[in-house]
Amino acid sequence: MPRAYDARDAERSLFDALLVARTRHGAKKSILEDQNRQPLSYTDLIRASFALGRKIAQITEPGENVGLLLPSSAGVVVTFFGLHAFGRVPTMLNFTSGLRNLRAACKLAGVKTVLTAHAFIEQGKLHDLVDALETNAKVIYLEDVRAKLGLSDKLFAAAAALSPKLFAAKSKPSDPGVILFTSGSFGAPRGVVLTQANLIANAMQVAAHIDLDPDWVMFNPLPTFHCFGLTGGVILPILTGMKAFQYPSPLHTKQIPPLIKDCKASILLATDTFVNQYARSADPGELSGLKFIVCGAEKVRDETHNLIADRFGGVPVLEGYGATEAAPVVAVNKPDDNRRGTVGGLLPGMDYRIEPVEGIPEGGRLLLRGPNIMAGYLREDGGVDPPEDGWHDTGDVVTMTDDLWITIKGRVKRFAKIGGEMVSLTAAEDLAVAVWPDGRHAVISMPDPKKGERLLLVTDRADADVSMLLSHAQSIGAPELAVPRKILKVSEVPVLGTGKTDYVAIQRLADTQPRAA
């Protein structure tokens, strides 16, 4: 049975929560590893955080928002906790978001110092990003910082690891834990301030919802600039005693499956797109050792469920749902209660409201309040706009069962009004997925002089045809209004670095090709 949710767990700072986990699970327990295969224990992590954090503290100010431009690795985790040990605020920078968004994020958060790594910049060929950031911030390379660690630094770190409460900066649960930026799939990214209590609470909410074993290994290939990768892939396992195995890119579809087997991973954290790719490239024994897979950020297709079930001994694929503003997990299915088509049960400790949306008869707009809901959005003056009365408007249209299992019907923005009827663009995408399950599809609305709006399917299937969509819709009794009558065929459907569909880029693409047919 999972442990009961206890709100008191979040009544401490993030660094104190790390110390509590060390006491609970053992100082020598191996808790962090990456592709370099040099595992760190709790004490190793705490000692390294003090050593690195002390050096960073010498070039930054208390309370400063410090940018992290790093892939998922042991290094980013050490840096994250090192900043907390000295009262700095990790500000996670999305290196896939493009120069304009990256610079806007740094400006919004007042980032004066960016921490990165030579190896990462070289391998990712990200020199243009560094050049752009250096116009407003100082870029520091962690290899250079580590090279300056002397005997006095190591002695300090050893002493601090023995008596961490004497050395760590004093902070409150309500202090900022991280600044993240929304994915920008529908517009410009927004800066989200999550408190230390938000992050701890969300990890404990998940642990109260799903029974987690401290002997398990969490394999995380998702970036820590995405809240799913940070909370689910780092904070959750480390605070609950599981080893957090970090991998720098979810795109390495051939390298990841054998590594999952080799590191004896129990849980894989990913998105539907990546899981589908891993399943296609993996040998049968490479994923079958997993207890379950957790998918977020996008809808899990039936094809992915079936592919995993058929090839890997019935490993459950648990679809979940979240938002950066919720730190991020809102709901997730369970290994012993996995309902396809839903995003699982609402996590404990949360309040919800479902408000009706005009023209949408089934379900309503979901609003949430709870210990994991953000402090607020960053303002340009450095202040924070909190959610009104603590309620966050998700913008998602959902239905909910009596036992609080949630089904996403679409975003409020993802409905089109055609001939006076509200049509879900998500439902239209589902039609395309059903007809061509191995393709990637996105449906957007375009202006139409006669009906107000019309649907456009953007797909990577060269053989996509409207007649096949119509035929399938008729066979399942779906309304013909939900069938896109125009198709734009592309070699690749634009996606964000997190694996989500990039609707902003798709809209721009469609706008340049008005005669798509």
The tens digit of pLDDT for each residue in 354-399 reads 999 877 778 898 999 999 999 999 998 889 999 999 999 998 889 9
Specify the length of the chain in residues.
517
pLDDT in tens, 178-218: 999 986 555 567 899 999 999 999 999 999 999 999 999 99
Query: By the 8 A CB rule, do 229 and 100 touch?
Result: no
What confidence tens digit (pLDDT) does each residue in 78-88 have? 999 999 999 99
Q: For the chain, which domains are there? A: 9-206+229-240 (3.40.50.12780), 419-511 (3.30.300.30)
The CA distance from 266 to 290, in Å, is 4
What is the average pLDDT score of the chain? 89
Name every residue whose Cβ is closer than 8 Å to that of residue 84 and which is 6 or more positions away in sequence. Answer: 13, 14, 15, 49, 53, 90, 168, 169, 171, 177, 196
Q: Given this model, what pLDDT does residue 516 score?
A: 42
Name every residue whose Cβ is closer than 8 Å to that of residue 480 and which is 6 or more positions away in sequence: 470, 473, 474
Q: What is the DSSP annotation of 389-408? A: GG-EEEEEEEEE-TT-EEEE
CB 396 within 8 A of CB 408: yes
Average pLDDT over residues 289-295: 94
- DSSP conformation class of 99: H
Is 7 a residue whose pLDDT tops 70?
A: yes
Task: At 250, give phi and psi (nearest 5°).
Answer: -75, -5
Lowest mean pLDDT: which of 109-113, 159-163, 217-221, 506-510? 506-510
Question: Could you give phi then psi for residue 182, rounded to 5 degrees?
Answer: -60, 160
- What are the helix (H) ranges across 98-172? 99-109, 118-124, 127-133, 142-147, 151-162, 164-167
Per-residue pLDDT reduced to its tens digit, 223-235 = 999 999 999 999 9
pLDDT at 517: 42
Residue 343 has a pLDDT of 95
Cβ neighbour number for residue 165 with a 10 Å cutoff: 10
**What's the CA gap between 287 and 308, in Å, rounded?**
9
> Cα–Cα distance between 454 and 486 in angstroms, integer?
8
Please tell me whether residue 128 adopts helix, strand or coil conformation. helix
Distant-in-sequence, close-in-space partners of 502: CB < 8 Å, separation ≥ 6: 185, 494, 495, 496
d(CA 505, CA 517): 19
